[in-house]
Structure formats: structure tokens, C-alpha cells
Amino acid sequence: MINKSAAIVIKNRRVLYLRKRGFLFYILPGGKIEKGETEQEALEREIMEELQSRIKIVEKIGVIKGGGFNKSLDKLETIKLSLYKVKLLDKIKLSMEIFDRAYIKHKSIHRYLLTPVGIQTLEFLHQKGLID
């Protein structure tokens, strides 16, 4: 199992997803927790790398376990994704590793290619009443 932290950035009742260069799927901002890091430290580091923004962590809103693909897209791995609602403190500047971004609502889930854990997260956020 791979432990990751993900930022839940909500705007107009939609949640921010990113698509990395060379990767088919839209994923939540965030990433793998490195040895010696807390979930929050990993999240702050990953958001700075991906969006070039500092964050304020509002609250931990849940943990999702589900499938996600490795970078080679040849293996579905189990991901434990710790979800943190965050506020971006700076204007988003996508890093070179990010190809696209989208604010996704539950109703438009079919318009984007998401990993299984990404779909589970959208369902979870919708059930909690955080997104449309």
C-alpha cells in the first residue's frame, strides 16, 4: 500500500484535479509521503512543487483506500489517500510536470478520466455535501 496526502481545493463547489505530463488520468494535488515526513509536511511540499503555492490546512476530512496506477500505467496499486481540505495562499502557477487542471463537480464525473481512488474521492466529497 502506498500512503499519500491529497489537497482538497474547492472552488464554486467543484474540486481541483490535475493531470501530469505523460499521464492519462486526472488526480488530486498532493503525493507520496516520504520517509520521515508527516502527512501535512508531504502535502505542503507536494503542493509547492505542483502548484507553486503555500497552503493553509483547514482540516483532515477523511481517508480513502482505493486503486491508483503507477507512473508506467502498467500496475494498479492500492493507495491510502489522506484527504485535507486546504486553502491556497498564493495564485496557482502550474509546474512543468503539470499538463492541465480542472475543477470537477460530481455531475461531470464522466467527462474526465479519473483513477478509481479519484472517483471514490469525488463520491465521498459529494456525499459530504462539499461539491455539487
- Residue pLDDT, tens place only, 23-63: 888 999 999 999 999 999 999 999 999 999 999 999 999 99
Residues 6+ positions from 36 with CB-CB distance below 8 Å:
none
* Residue in the block written with cell 474526465: 112
Question: Is the whole model's pTM more than 0.85, yes or no?
Answer: yes
User: Average pLDDT, whole number, for the chain?
Assistant: 92
| 37 CB-contact burial (10 Å; exposed 0-12 / middle 13-18 / buried 19+) | middle
DSSP 130: S
DSSP 114: B
Q: Which has the closest alpha carbon to 83: 114, 123, 39, 50? A: 39
